[in-house]
Amino acid sequence: MKIRNLAKVTVACWIAILAIALTACGDETQIVTIEKEVPVEVPRLKEVPVEVVKEIPVEVIKEVPVEVVKEVPVEVIKEVPVEKIVEVQVERVVEKSVSVEKVVAQSTHVAMQSSDGHFNTIGGSATVNDAAYDLTFFKHYGVNPFIDTEDDHLSTFALDVDTASYTVMRRFLRDGHLPARDSVRVEEFVNYFDQDYEPPAEQAFAIHVDGSPSPFGGKNHWLMRVGLQGKSITEEERKDATLIFAIDVSGSMEREDRLGLVKRSLELLVDELRPSDKVGIVIYGNYGRTLLEPTSGRNKGTILDAIYSLGPGGSTFVEDGLRIAYQMAAEQVEPGRITRVMLLSDGVGNVGATGADSILRTIRSHVDEGVTLTTVGFGMGNYNDIMMERLANDGNGTYHYVDSLTEAERLFVENLTGTLQVIASDAKIQVDFNPEVVTRFRLLGYENRRVADEDFRNDDVDAGEVGADHSVTALYELKLAEDADGPLATAYVRYEDPDTGEVVEIKREFEREELANEFQSASPRFQLSAVVAEYAEILRESYWAQDGNLTDVAVEARRVQELLPEDEHVTEFADLVTRAERIDSR
């Protein structure tokens, strides 16, 4: 078929062009019907996007594998290697019209091909508004205010053990940028670090409370730490696990060798599996498909061969990938066994449902069946933090960001049992301040984990999941009444035992006399938490840290490092604060 004049473009040609475009994102070879019912086979294309048609009248659309609408905005065809059909290349789009000069399989007007075979749009490559990266999606959840205890003496929120925000910050700094303000979540910075809390003797949690004068607040301001330590479970005690990897293999995963880091990270995890564990693999690009049915951990070679066979390309149908992964996981649910989907992606979807709410509606029934979720982010630039966090929060799971193989080892080797096995479901905390001792309080972080005070004992309200040996820390800035003694606060924790379904509530009272008289006489881990929180507050430009500066935080970080010389993460933290200070002073 040769087309030389737009005026001669027939209905059949419109349908052929649309069919090529739409089938590019399809999951099978499609048969479309054009003029006089002549069937044309359209091979599946791996990568398609260029604007060709802004609007196609519904009259010219016959049998195509998509919903028919009156106006069809389609992003199609950068290059069409479809030698079995027609060789059509659109060279320019003018006022909704397609001008086709000649029939070719490649255009030099729409896109330019570089020496390495990739296509780039014509023009520069600098990011807009001097942004650190292109197309990054973060959400600002606000900053908690001070609350007068005469108005409200309760503080209630869901537990959260995510750590992604901290490692995202580290990625920004290593690339020479301060982190985006909206990427900073204080609680995830604090919870990245070990706290050395004593583990519980019997129950799922032990509650620890301590405090001191605030080193960064105003006069008569104090800092209180409420810490929870989850029970430890040895590797031998861990339940058998069925893990379904949902792996993003779209074109964006080629950037920075994201897919390569995914492969190396999963190799670490697979090496830790027992013969009684299972792994299934679902991949998605233009569509989702099963790569490996659930396979015994004794067949590590088979699992790794499947992982290392992956290559990037195409668009991103994350909804389809998760749908298939959850269906596979649901078929594997057994009493006494962990069943978890692990999403490894940059979080950016561009086919089907692309928002967390709509995707969650697709998988909600399987979440209710007991399938848990871990989302693990890779890459920066074309990265959707909002999606990855929301899926984890509402999918009964946790969210992590892997910026290096060292971080993958921390997640998948050192903390594997905690990553996989949940010890508490729908866990939430409520702190009841004594208005006679505490006049005002402010919770640092957890802005997107709020729970209504009256819902603390409503066990139908979704809250947080906590894994074995995980700790959770919340910091409060307080203003105390002068010369008042007695109980300062009572911390309540409520959760469901995931094995028995029993709802458990525990509490810990905290007296004013338990406060340290000076900040530097408090425990080193308490001091670390305070410095980390102030660092996060400054990075997110909190109103309450407007008088703070990174120089002072860097000094405090180095001092705390000397108190904890064996902790490599504290040493790295001090280095990161110094790096942030230098970037900020440019």
Residue 177 has pLDDT above 60, yes or no: yes
Residue 319 has pLDDT above 70, yes or no: yes
Co-location of 30 and 47 in the same domain: yes
Co-location of 444 and 548 in the same domain: yes
In a domain, 507, yes or no: yes
User: Which of 222, 151, 156, 165 has the alpha carbon at shortest distance from 193?
Assistant: 165
Burial profile 228-245: b = 16 or more Cβ within 10 angstroms, e = fewer: bbbbebeeeebbebbbbb
pLDDT for residue 350 = 74
Co-location of 280 and 405 in the same domain: yes
User: Which of 284, 293, 310 has the alpha carbon at shortest distance from 243?
Assistant: 293
pLDDT band for position 381 (cuts 50, 70, 90): confident
Co-location of 388 and 463 in the same domain: no
How far apart are alpha carbons 177 and 129 in whole angstroms?
Answer: 14
Torsion of CA 302, 307, 308, 314, to 10 degrees: 140
Residue 578 has pLDDT above 80, yes or no: yes
pLDDT for residue 127 = 57
* Cα dist from 196 to 147, 193, 199, 567, whole Å: 30, 9, 9, 11
User: Which of 33, 27, 29 has the alpha carbon at shortest distance from 64?
Assistant: 33
Co-location of 246 and 98 in the same domain: no
How far apart are alpha carbons 550 and 557 in whole angstroms?
Answer: 10
DSSP code of residue 71: S
Last-in-domain residue among 112, 136, 163: 112
In a domain, 117, yes or no: no
Co-location of 409 and 429 in the same domain: no
* Cα dist from 187 to 143, 192, 328, 475, whole Å: 12, 9, 33, 8
In a domain, 293, yes or no: yes
Domain count of the fold of the chain: 3
Co-location of 195 and 276 in the same domain: no
Last-in-domain residue among 112, 133, 158: 112
Residue 125 has pLDDT above 60, yes or no: no
Co-location of 216 and 251 in the same domain: no
Last-in-domain residue among 420, 453, 488: 420
How far apart are alpha carbons 119 and 128 in whole angstroms?
Answer: 20
In a domain, 563, yes or no: yes
Residue 153 has pLDDT above 60, yes or no: yes
In a domain, 132, yes or no: no
CATH code: domain of residue 254: 3.40.50.410
In a domain, 402, yes or no: yes
In a domain, 141, yes or no: no
How far apart are alpha carbons 144 and 442 in whole angstroms?
Answer: 6
Query: Which structural domain, as residue segments, surrounds residue 358?
Result: 241-420
pLDDT band for position 7 (cuts 50, 70, 90): very low
Whether residue 221 contacts residue 211, with contact meaning beta carbons closer than 8 Å, is answered with no
Co-location of 427 and 414 in the same domain: no
Give tens-digit pLDDT for 278-287. Answer: 999 999 999 8
How far apart are alpha carbons 469 and 233 in whole angstroms?
Answer: 7
Give tens-digit pLDDT for 246-276. Answer: 999 999 898 878 899 999 999 999 999 999 9
In a domain, 186, yes or no: yes
Co-location of 343 and 439 in the same domain: no
CATH code: domain of residue 223: 2.60.40.1230
Co-location of 308 and 453 in the same domain: no
Co-location of 333 and 254 in the same domain: yes
